[in-house]
Amino acid sequence: MKLFFSVGEPSGDLHGANLIRELQRKAGNVDAIGLGGPRMQAAGCQLMRDMTDLAIMGLVPALVKLPEFFKLLAQVEQALKAERPDAVVLIDYPGFNWHVAKKAKALGIPVVYYGLPQLWAWLSYRVEKVRKYIDHPLCKLPFEEAWFRGQGCEATTYVGHPYFDELKAQTLDQQFLEQFKNNPQRLVAILPGSRRSEVQRNFALQIKAARLVHRAVPDVRFAVASYNDQQAAMAAKILGNHDLPLTIIPGKTPELIHAATCCMAVSGSVSLELLYHAKPSVMQYNLAMPSYYIMKHLVRVQYMTLPNLITTPELHPPRTQKYRRGDVVHSHVLFPEYPHWRDRSAQVASHAIEWLQNEPARLDLVRRLEQLRGTLAIGGASSRTADYILQHVVPQVANQARAA
């Protein structure tokens, strides 16, 4: 079985690697090629290109990279013609992956989208691309199957969120955690995001919020959970000389979340990790002013953080607060969130201060997070997706494996 993967985000790299391993376990030899990252390469995928440096957000950065994307798309088309894979598997990265899907469809290659884009949130007219180009749409969130099927994507199947597979398989570094167990100072973890652009846009504001927290709660210390050594160096450069009780630690995000009393994070898939650890957290996402106002008029839902979207009474309320309107935190919101182009450091800090000073309030939030975790963090998405591919996309491979 030969599969072509197109993956462009660090989180997608993780999900792709887990899926490749599940397919190998269930079907034996899997020839995986395409676009991805270091985790997929370690799982046996032959990469045409490491996409780590193309994980970008925002209109202007995307425009700057357009020539590179066009060149890459031409290379993908050539590879599809030369390799003739049994199927193309897309994970996240819709801006580029729609074009890959169109090329594959034109060549008669089945297309699987593992983790459909959140079209219910904004620019939902793009669901037409799912109908036209995606043969096997697989969704991650419970409410998405009904929504996509209601939009004419009848083959949509809910497989669960693959991030929980990784979280359930994690083994925390207990030796590393020992240093926090015997320290009387409580820890606030700062998570500046997995993309370089996120660190560049958000980290300085997170440090500003940390200073406000430290001023109100002096007996606290901070740890920055950097995605890798390169981003740790970037964070250190942005931080410069400082007087905060703060350390920058690469590659230990799960341990720092586990050890923290609360977290200040840049919104993204990390919200699911924070939910898994039932960790009170406040989310922010700083945008360029033009991007903010474009999003404000396009986004159809009130929240950007997945647990908040899952707990909202109505996904599309009659009077939708497009993107954000003010800084209202509704009672059902588990992770207060602040996406804006303006400085929201004071609001971000206020939540961390509340959890550090009001233990009953913090514990009540922990209880609510644990309740949602019990219904959402089911795990098994990688296994279910591998089964789906073997049963519905390339069933001849499964038959051969059983015969052997």
Instruction: Note the pLDDT tens digit of each residue in 74-120.
Output: 999 999 999 999 999 999 888 899 999 999 999 999 999 999 998 98
Pairing of strands 2-7, 186-191: unpaired
pTM: 0.75
Q: How far apart are CA 299 and CA 291, in angstroms?
A: 12
CATH superfamily, region 174-376: Glycogen Phosphorylase B; (3.40.50.2000)
Q: Which of 244, 284, 281 is nearest to 261 (CA)?
A: 281
Choose the weakest-confidence range: 17-21, 259-263, 285-289: 285-289
Res. 67: pLDDT tops 80: no
pLDDT band at 64; cut points 50, 70, 90: low
Choose the weakest-confidence range: 24-28, 359-363, 394-398: 394-398
% of residues, the chain, pLDDT over 70: 90
Can you give the pLDDT at residue 375? 83
Q: How far apart are CA 112 and CA 86, in angstroms?
A: 11
Res. 145: pLDDT tops 70: yes
How does the average pLDDT of the chain come out, rounded?
88
Answer yes or no: are the C-beta atoms of 283 and 258 closer than 8 Å: no
Q: Which residue has the higher pLDDT, 147 or 311?
A: 147
Answer yes or no: are the C-beta atoms of 23 and 389 closer than 8 Å: yes
208-219 mean pLDDT: 97
Tell me the C-alpha to C-alpha distance, in Å, between residue 14 and each of 17, 121, 165: 5, 24, 10
Q: How far apart are CA 225 and CA 227, in angstroms?
A: 7
CA atoms within 13 A on the CB side of 360: 0
51-65 mean pLDDT: 59
Residue 163, classified by CB atoms within 10 Å of its CB into exposed (0-12), middle (13-18) or buried (19+), is buried
Domains 2-160+380-398 and 174-376 share a fold: yes
What are φ and ψ of residue 41, in 5° steps?
-60, -40
pLDDT band at 399; cut points 50, 70, 90: low
Domain 2-160+380-398 has CATH 3.90.1150.10: no
Q: Hunting for tokens 């320290």 — which residue is that?
A: 183
Q: How far apart are CA 98 and CA 104, in angstroms?
A: 10
DSSP H/E element including 399: helix 395-403
Q: Token digits for 2?
A: 């030969």
What is the residue extent of each domain of the chain? Answer: 2-160+380-398, 174-376
The 10 Å Cβ neighbour count of residue 151 is 17
Q: Which of 215, 255, 192, 205 is nearest to 357 (CA)?
A: 215
Q: How far is CA 260 from the centre of its chain?
A: 21
DSSP 8-state symbol, 340 = E
pLDDT band at 57; cut points 50, 70, 90: low
Which residue type sits at 250?
Answer: P
Find residue 226's DSSP bridge partners.
250
pLDDT digits (tens, 9 = 90+) for 251-272: 999 999 999 999 999 988 789 9
Find residue 236's DSSP bridge partners.
none
